[in-house]
Amino acid sequence: MGLLIAACMLSLLMMTNAQASGPAGAGDQVVVRPSDTGEALVNPDMGWTMHFYSNIPTNYGSQLEPSDTVDDFPGLSTVYLRLPWSMIEPQEGKFNWAILDTPAQRWIAKGKRVAFRITCSENWIAFGTPEWVKNAGAKGVFYEFGKGPTGKGWTWDPDFGDPIFLQKLDQFLTAMSKRYDGNPNVAFIDIGSYGLWGEGHTFMTSQVPDDRADKIVRQHIDLYVKHFPRTLLCISDDIVGHDKPGRHFPLTDYAIFKGVSLRDDSIMVQPPPRSWYHSEMAQEFWPKFPVILEHDHFGASKDRGVWGDGSLLLKAVEDYHASYMSIHWWPRIELSENRKLIDRINLRMGYRLQLREISWPLHVTIGEPFKVESMWANAGVAPCYPGGFMALTIKDEKGGIVSVLSDESLDMRSLEVGPPDQAPVKGHESEFCIGLIAPTTHPGKYDVYVSVGKRDGTPVIALPLPGNDGSRRYKIGTIEIGEKK
């Protein structure tokens, strides 16, 4: 790692100066060609999701101390909370929000985000949907897991299209949306109210006929879209059938039309060549929305001989153009046994904005425009969905901000993605001016920092660059500012 950092710093110091003073010209340019540091980046709309609850509340955060947010897992951006509705609203109108908010706040306090799935069907407890919904008159069936409705089962599925069930679900989502819709701490919410474990299938449970399922799933999509218009929603690929390959289906086309993204919970459950079924389907989603993957419980996948060396997981990231990946096991066990794989995935998952080259005049004059040329690439598999704009921040020797120069003409969302080590590079020219009218700017030598973020120059996106000032601005060199003549 020391050699890598040294190489990065050496690259940063690569600059050419033809003259020490005088007007800026072709021979008086600072040219910097940074190297990618190789570090894992935590950024909006991407990263590893930590299954604090995986349906069963004791999986997999129960062994963590309250202060432990697994900060040593590189690229962990989101805590994922998946629980049955019956545990959130055990009595009608009386909510157990603390079961969600307590772990969520642990990660939010560290600058991370939270994601949710609230399910209505579970095979390990009798009622994923609260029993009071059944007692209110909602129709449903008892089933035997793997056999369907036999009259001998002890687990209950609602009729997912029953009017009373939908009414009660609507009321629950109303309450949930007041807390979480548009909340900047929420990364995404699964549409998890249909099918076993919220995965969109019933072939092992109540066995809803396909012609009914199509209408019901649309009803559930519409309910979530109504209540969460300002939050990224996703739905399981299994709504079209857990093992049906293909790119276009009426239900997934409807989801895209409604602004809903895709989630695949079945990665590496089965051995090759069918380690997943719906990477082709994902091609319709990833150009528009972040795609979310969940691998099988790591220990179970390994025990069945499916996991192998883990390279299939990286292939899934490539094939799906995935932005999120689960930590679906005890997190430090998964990390300790797969560290090299996780590091490789972090170089590709989501987006990774690389500043390949940037140049600016060594000498500029207060109040007079100058040009900056830069070259950018996205080395990830997915677009930079939140977008972002380059800014140069000029600082004095005390770290004070002398000037913020933001360029709104290049949105990083527009950078195209490519195969590994083949990301297209986009050149761009910016024009800036320091100290025009105000604030007061004194002649002198200053540090130059680059960042990507909001239009007003607020940094948002972490970059794989050294020299971070702690606010996602990265030192790339110096500039000399002269008095206006």
Please write the tens of the pLDDT for every residue from 379-390: 999 999 999 999
Question: Between 121 and 10, where is the model more confident?
Answer: 121
Using DSSP's 3-state secondary structure scheme, residue 68 falls into coil
Confidence of residue 27 (pLDDT cuts 50, 70, 90): low
- Phi/psi region, residue 204 (left: phi>0; alpha: psi -120 to 50; beta: rest), is alpha
Question: What pLDDT shows up at residue 484?
Answer: 85
The rounded mean pLDDT for the chain is 94
> Do 128 and 169 contact (CB within 8 A), yes or no?
no
- Other residues' Cβ atoms within 10 Å of the Cβ of residue 361: 18
Range list for CATH 3.20.20.80 in the chain: 47-346
Class of domain 47-346: alpha beta
| Nearest alpha-carbon partner for 51 in 73, 34, 36 | 73
Instruction: Please say if the pLDDT value at position 22 is more than 60.
Output: no
Tokens of 72: 């040593």
Fold of 2-40+352-482: Immunoglobulin-like (2.60.40)
Instruction: Please say if the pLDDT value at position 224 is more than 80.
Output: yes
pLDDT in tens, 151-179: 899 999 999 999 999 999 999 999 999 99
Range list for CATH 2.60.40.770 in the chain: 2-40+352-482
Instruction: Please say if the pLDDT value at position 356 is more than 60.
Output: yes
Confidence of residue 20 (pLDDT cuts 50, 70, 90): very low
